Amino acid sequence: MPAYQVKVKWGKELYPDIELDTGEPPMVFRAQLFALTGVQPQRQKIMLKGATIREDSWDGLKIKNGVTILMMGSKEEDVPVEPTEKTAFIEDLSEAERNTMLQLPVGIKNLGNTCYLNAVIQCLKTVPELHTTVKEFKPKRPGGAADSSASSSLLTLVEVESGSLLTLAIQDCYRTMDSGKTAVPLVLVNLFRSTFPRFAEQGEQGMYMQQDASECWTELMRLLMQEVPAKDSSKTHKSFSSSLIDQFFCGEHVSEWKCGESEEEEVVHKTDKFQQLMCHINQDVKYLHTGLVARMQEQITKRSELLDRDAVYTKKSKISRLPAYLAVQMIRFFYKEKEAVNAKILKDVKFPIILDVFDLCTPELQKKLTPIREKYKDMDERQIEEERALKRGKPLAPEDKPRTRALPFSFEDDYGSNNSGFYKLQAVLTHQGRSSSSGHYVAWVRWKGNEWLKCDDDDVTSVTEEDILKLSGGGDWHCAYILLYGPRILEVVEDLKPVDEVKMEAE
């Protein structure tokens, strides 16, 4: 469908030469007007020759170059305040008004099959170190260092590399959300599609197609690894000090490759980095841990130089470095050649709130993890006693609870690592549908304590931890596709010895 140059009249203002692309949904045009005028899309009434333009379709409108479109609506700050306050009942409020009253975080507007990107952005926002660093991000000039004098306005950054521009677009999205306003990510979506053209694929009707959230996750992580600098890199193992993503999301595993068809061929040992663990799913896998273990020992066919032909190798892997934040992908899609689609495995695979990966680690790493792990037993016993007291109807008084402090979750000489092997679930990215290139993606994120939020684009609602555990699959309901685990924070009674003393005693 063609793009037109139109005029937009808003009150006394006239904006000439505005591009209107009827190949995009009308919400994209509303987002453009929001960027020009500051009038939120939901407050806009847009008319063409007396006909109101709908939010979801251009049908019935005769648009041509030079036509004048009328927009009505005012900025929130321009709305007059009534002199008397009316009683407001929560059931009469809109979703956005309820979220404001309940102080719920806000979401991200869907600009036409962009739920996969929205869900990834919401999940990554739960990592405080990444959230803070992106908000403080300064763009780089081509071939140069960060420019601290550069404006944060995306429109003024004409000399900035595309990767930095896209990072700034994520920054703008986070800042908007943190201010309590729903993000309308027009710039982010356009930059994402231009930076990664395969996500700009269009269907027969000219609409942008749904994309795979896992592929989106991978591309954004690769981008942020290049753009977001490391924190306290001098305290990080040199192999993981190149960027914040390297520090907090990258692990390391050692693998052993043994040829099953030749006793003479030497066993090969390799060391590789990873950003995700994969959960293998078959008829025997009912739990996440089982799928992870299955992936750590695989039969792989590759060429044998000794035999001068393809041969079957057994690959055994163990983790030698754990990142602070562990992403786990559920291998739910496989390619069906006949239908030419990535079909979905709907099998129910249970995942825990607290994940322990100790047995997936090398003996050397297990030895390093053990001193801290012993201290979690004390914390668990205190929590169990508090829960028992609550069930008896006699909760512990604040003065009866011991004063505690949080210990670092990283090794002292490897900032951004995990020093215990324990993780706590903090975000789930789900898919609803039968193919990765169709259906709908949603982010479910931990909010406060055991309270969670369902972030369905710009619709954000409160859910329970029980609701999260129902995302394990088994039907056409939302199925967990990517699990994001963060460090399980160790709280110790204040008079206990510091972690460095515990380490010395263990040695």
Q: Are 165 and 156 in contact (CB under 8 A)?
A: no
**91 in a domain, yes or no?**
no
Check residue 233 and give its pLDDT: 82
Is residue 20, in this structure, part of any structural domain at all?
yes
CA distance 224 to 242: 11
Residue 405: CB atoms within 10 A of its CB come to 11
Residue 21: domain span: 1-75
Among 120, 128, 408, which Cα is nearest to 244's?
A: 128
pLDDT at 97: 54
State the CATH number of the domain containing residue 52: 3.10.20.90
Q: How far apart are CA 141 and CA 441, in angstroms?
A: 35
Please name every residue paired with 310 in a beta bridge, in sequence order, or none if there are none.
303
The pLDDT score that the predictor gives to residue 209 is: 92
The structure's pTM equals 0.76
Q: For residue 268, is it within any domain?
A: no
Residue 442, domain member (yes or no): no
Of 123, 410, 417, residue with least CA distance to 246: 417
Does some domain include residue 345?
A: no
User: How far apart are alpha carbons 291 and 317 in whole angstroms?
Assistant: 14
Within a domain: residue 64? yes
CB atoms within 10 A of CB 507: 6
The answer to the question of residue 311 being in a domain is no
Tell me how many domains the chain contains: 1
The CA radius of gyration of the chain, in Å to the nearest whole number, is: 26
Give the SS3 label for residue 269: strand
Which sequence positions are flagged as catalytic? 115, 440
CA dist., res. 425 & res. 496, Å (int): 27
Tens of pLDDT, residue by residue, the chain (507 residues)? 577 888 998 988 888 888 887 877 787 788 778 777 878 777 888 888 878 888 778 887 888 888 898 888 887 654 444 444 455 554 555 555 555 555 688 999 999 999 999 999 999 999 999 999 999 998 765 555 555 444 444 434 334 467 888 999 999 999 999 999 999 999 999 999 999 999 999 987 788 999 999 999 999 999 999 999 998 888 888 889 899 999 999 999 999 999 999 988 999 999 999 999 999 898 889 999 999 999 999 899 999 988 999 999 999 999 999 999 999 999 988 777 676 677 788 899 999 999 999 999 999 999 999 999 989 988 988 888 888 888 888 777 777 788 889 999 999 999 999 999 999 999 999 999 887 778 899 999 999 888 999 999 999 999 999 999 999 998 888 999 999 999 999 998 886 455 555 555 555
Q: Which of 361, 276, 278, 275 is nearest to 317 (CA)?
A: 361
Residue 101 maps to a domain: no
Burial of residue 152 (CB within 10 Å: 0-12, 13-18, 19+) is middle
Q: What was the pLDDT predicted at 81?
A: 46
- Locate 478 and state its tokens: 């939302």
Q: Which among 393, 412, 376 has a CA at the least distance from the CA of 489?
A: 376
Q: Give the pair of three-digit tokens for residue 346.
A: 């709907």
What pLDDT sits at residue 23? Answer: 75
